[in-house]
Amino acid sequence: MPTTDAPRRRDDLTVAEIDGETVIYDPRDATVHHLNSSATIVWSCCDGTSSVADIIDDIAQAFGLAVADIADQIHTALSAFEDSGLLAVPASVDG
Amino acid sequence: MASSTFDIDGTIVGIRTTDRDFASWLDAALGGYRSVTNADPTYSVVIGGREGTVQGFHILYHGTARLIRTIDLEAVARALIDEVASNTLRDRMDAVFVRAAAVQVNGSVALVPPAAVTSMEPSVRSLARSGFRLPVSRWVAIGSDGSLVPRTPLQLPSDIFDTFGDRNDARDERFIPRDPRPVDTIVTNAPDGGTGVGTSPRAVALHRLASATLNLEALGGTALEYLFRAVSGARCIELDRASADAYPTRLARAILGLELSAG
């Protein structure tokens, strides 16, 4: 996913967060997904206004980590969301 | 050998039994669903106490898979009816129907994977002596508040199970939900390679229950909401697939909170 994309959670999903992890029901194919605590943090950032680069920066800052140390993990999580069809068509954030 | 075919909400179900009296009972129980077609048997009920059976055990098979083996005629009948009823659950909206087994240990109720119960069936009577009640059903109903709720999806004569009173000379102590009650513990299988007993993330338990929901498509996100309430109030543990001998003891101890390590 390009770093200028602003991933956004689909609106029609049913989402249950419990103990810092997430379970998602997707009505399109009646499937259920489980996100562990790390994936849940990334998921919570997918609001359609923050670019991938913003998300990486925000998480790095919030947890006191180096961008280089977490960028791959975040890209992997976002790709998994995308592959699972959990994201709306991404918007691009200019600048 | 007697065979009957029933139309259960559009699903044709053939049932074969070795016992004419049981066949008559079945016709009385499911007479309203009788089909004019003749289907190959989906379920087979071997009634014990006759030539060719072992020690009077009654056995219910789905295809070639043994679901229950018991000396309690009513238990095998209830198990059969619940299995047949599972064909009606996909479109129901009155509860979340989950492929899980509800066991009771000293009053505490736990949902466990159905396969775990199958492996414990041979020990049902000795387990009962130590306060362990196995279910007859391999599915449970979860209500809107997350409670385990009784459901009888098929239209049956109200006294249909009373008729076993005279013939049933041996009873298993089984757990059959009669009233709504909370789920105390949810047990999931540990991942491959996992050992022992540990706490499980509740999200994992929720994911497992939702994935095993029979009417997930019909209820959609509502199913997740009901199950969320069940999981929120329950202890969630994972248990490795120990040997058949060791599993019941470890399960009972885990349900009673006697054997928990860090997850």
Please report, as a single letter, which amino acid is at residue B137: S
Find how far residue A42's CA is from the centre of its chain. 4
Q: What is the DSSP string of B93-119?
A: -SSEEES-EEEEETTEEEEE-HHHHHH
A11 touches B: beta carbon within 8 Å: no
Task: Give the Cα-Cα-Cα angle B142, B143, B149 (nearest 5 degrees).
Answer: 70
Contact A86, A13 (CB under 8 A): yes
pLDDT at A92 (0 to 100): 62
Cα gap B137→B86, rounded to integer Å: 10
**Hey, is B160 helix, strand or coil?**
coil
pLDDT at B111 (0 to 100): 96
Place of tokens 């492996």: B119
C-alpha pair distances (Å), B57 with each of A28, B32, B47, B122, B135: 46, 29, 7, 10, 17
pLDDT at B70 (0 to 100): 86
For residue A27, which residues of chain B lie inside 8 Å, CB to CB?
Answer: 220-221
Find how far residue A85's CA is from the centre of its chain. 12
Smallest Cβ–Cβ distance between A14 and the set B202, B224, B232 belongs to B224
A32 to B217: CB separation less than 8 angstroms, yes or no: no
Alpha-carbon gap: B80 to the closest alpha carbon of chain A (Å): 28
Cα gap B158→B180, rounded to integer Å: 20
A33 to B221: CB separation less than 8 angstroms, yes or no: no
B225 touches A: beta carbon within 8 Å: yes
pLDDT at B262 (0 to 100): 40
Smallest Cβ–Cβ distance between A19 and the set B202, B210, B224 belongs to B202
Contact B114, B97 (CB under 8 A): no
Condensed to tens digits (0 to 9), the pLDDT of residues A70-85 reads 999 999 999 999 999 9
pLDDT band, very low/low/confident/very high, at A95 (cuts 50, 70, 90): very low
Cα end-to-end span (Å), chain B: 51
pLDDT band, very low/low/confident/very high, at A93 (cuts 50, 70, 90): low
Written as six digits, the tokens of B97 are 């129907």
A62 touches B: beta carbon within 8 Å: no
Question: For residues B258 and A23, which has the higher predicted lDDT (pLDDT)?
Answer: A23
pTM for the structure as a whole: 0.89
Written as six digits, the tokens of A62 are 């919030």
Residue of chain A whose Cα is closest to the Cα of B217: A30
Alpha-carbon gap: B116 to the closest alpha carbon of chain A (Å): 23
For residue B96, which residues of chain A lie inside 8 Å, CB to CB?
Answer: none
A22 touches B: beta carbon within 8 Å: yes
Alpha-carbon gap: A95 to the closest alpha carbon of chain B (Å): 37
Query: Along the 263 residues of chain B, how does pLDDT read in single tens digits?
Result: 899 999 998 999 999 999 999 999 999 999 999 999 999 999 999 998 755 555 678 999 999 998 888 888 899 999 999 999 999 999 999 999 999 999 998 889 999 999 888 778 777 777 888 788 999 999 999 999 999 999 988 999 988 888 876 666 667 788 999 999 999 999 998 877 666 778 899 999 999 999 999 999 999 999 999 999 999 999 999 888 766 667 777 787 778 776 544 43
Cα gap B55→B69, rounded to integer Å: 11
**Hey, is A28 helix, strand or coil?**
coil
Smallest Cβ–Cβ distance between B224 and the set A16, A21, A36 belongs to A16
For residue A16, which residues of chain B lie inside 8 Å, CB to CB?
Answer: 203, 206, 224-225, 228
Residue of chain A whose Cα is closest to the Cα of B200: A19
HSE-up (13 A, CA, CB side) for residue B203: 19
Cα gap B101→B116, rounded to integer Å: 8
Residue of chain B whose Cα is closest to the Cα of A21: B203
Residue of chain A whose Cα is closest to the Cα of B223: A25
For residue B232, which residues of chain A lie inside 8 Å, CB to CB?
Answer: 18
pLDDT at A94 (0 to 100): 58
A25 to B228: CB separation less than 8 angstroms, yes or no: no
Q: Taking Cα atoms as reference points, which of A75, B19, B189 lies closest to residue A67?
A: A75
B201 touches A: beta carbon within 8 Å: yes
Q: Mention every residue, 6+ apart, whose C-beta is less than 8 A from residue B194.
A: B238, B240
As a residue count, chain A comes to 95
